[in-house]
Structure 1
Amino acid sequence: MNMMQLQYLIDVGEMGSFTDAARKNHITVPAISQSVSQLESELNAPLFLRSKKGVVPTEQGIRAIQHALSILRSVDKMKHELVNTQLASQGNVMIATIPGIVSQVVSTTIEFTEYNPLVNVNLIEGDTKSVLRRVRSGQADMGFVSLDSSHYDEALAWEPITRGTAVLVVNKKSQLRFHKTITGDELAHQVFVLYNDPFLRRIAQHLLINNPSNRIALTTNNLEALFQMVTVGNAVSLGPDYIVSALPVHLQEELVTIPLSGYDSNPSYLWRVTRKNVEVPGVIEQFTSKLLAHFHS
């Protein structure tokens, strides 16, 4: 039994004629008659009543035709899905991201392209506003930003990747490293270097108001420059813990993170953003799943 035999069975049943079914399939009448006879022998059941006026399906024939239709529909559906999967595994994926998680996105990309060698991943770094703008305008298929849950852009679809805890980042020789938590009262005459993030700026402003002896010396998206000032220049920084955990190991070994007390009522999240009311392609979901695994491993 093969697909062509099932198609011939259906055509003979619909047309009531070996001749018409043979003409439709561009084969001879004896060939299509033999195909049906082979099916009847294999199924051990008469499928048609034959007469000079044509052929009529038997009860077994009607059931066989119904099954044949179901099988061919399933085969067509399988072919369609496989073609769509192949198309989804090709082409370009444009990702816009804040610099803080570039290393995690790059690691995910390396793993992702091993399984999707025909997909070309393009990565664009930018601040939160530029990432959202690129996704909103369609310049990026998805974006990754760090924001608290009160700053939704309703034109976009938001999916949380991980929840962050606000931490103070100091070098491993700092006297502050002995604190279990930081309320802000312990911070005086500190030089802050900040990752350019709205959530962190609000915390820093609160700390500066409480103690004017603290000051901000640098705000940047360049993590290497920022944490060089922490490890070498004895500055302190703020960050969601997931950005610190995304740093290279050699930097993490030089740093100590201390939870900030009182700043978890409106936590920061790492979000994946896509355009609202636009179906997210499977290739984007696949990339997101792999990135999630990196953050939760």
Structure 2
Amino acid sequence: MPLPEPLVTVIVPGWNIARYAAEALASLRAQTLAAWRAILVDDGSTDGTGDVFADFAREDARFTHVTHPAQRGLGAARNTGLELVDTRYVGFLDGDDVMLPRALELLVGSLERTGSDIAVGQYTRLRPVAGGYEPSPVQPWVRDSTVPGRAGVTLADHPEVTSNIVAWSKVSRTDFWRTHHLRFPQGLYEDQAVAQTMYARARAIDTIAEPVVHWRVRAEGTSITQHEADPAVLAAVLDALREGLDILRREGPDVAVRARIGQILRMDVPRLQALDLDAHSRAAVDDFAAELDEILVADLPPRDGFSTGSASDSGKSGALAQDRGA
């Protein structure tokens, strides 16, 4: 039986993830929505990642394999894939993660029904355990970004969606990317600026109140988020948080700025303060928290019933921060 015309392209970047790539690509093959194609971008891997990608492309015409001769970074790999998209919708899957079987059915199906620009789903972490990996519960801020399920809301209607910043929890309209000339920046933490720009400019947003991806926290500790005590990585974290917030301040409603600052002060600041930081890095985190409080005081006078969750209240959310950083 011939495959249906693809509705969505899934961009799968990978660098030295041969150990996990087959499981990621098999999760695409297992989708209940068959109308997809995938662009596999080997970002100059030195292990067998390219071989895994090539094998899947030979076996299944829905996979297209392209290679960077040398590593250029996650953002560049995603951008390479974006240049090749010719379907109505586009999504992402990192080559060491797992897409749940109904993910594309839920995300694409929602956009087909509503005409929204973006559909956003939940995700869970795949944590290492003896003998393999197992998913953890959906974390509170991920749940808040998607529950209850919504159809055709604006950022002003649902500002808490701004806590869902990862590229691979979403499917969006390809024309939206082209109209707004969206591309991923180079460097670490590529998702922050793109996600907040998308939310601020979207005509309408859908949310899916169930997980669509398992995000792997690798046992070998190679994830950037597992090295945030490194001064260079910490500086990148703070820069990305600032950049995303600056976009919302320029382009989004005040309620979204308030929501994002509250999220950062409740979750990110306590998590970073709990790291084993040198004196300079610790001061940088404290200064960042003070900047956020100043924005709330100077630019966003409190409204009735609004709680910012300032840095001085961070102890109330220690369990949430611990859950994120664990």
Greater Cα radius of gyration, structure 1 or 2:
1
Q: Which has the higher strand share?
A: 1
TM-score by length of 1: 0.23
TM-score by length of 2: 0.22
Higher relative contact order by CA 8 Å / sep ≥ 6: 1 or 2?
A: 1
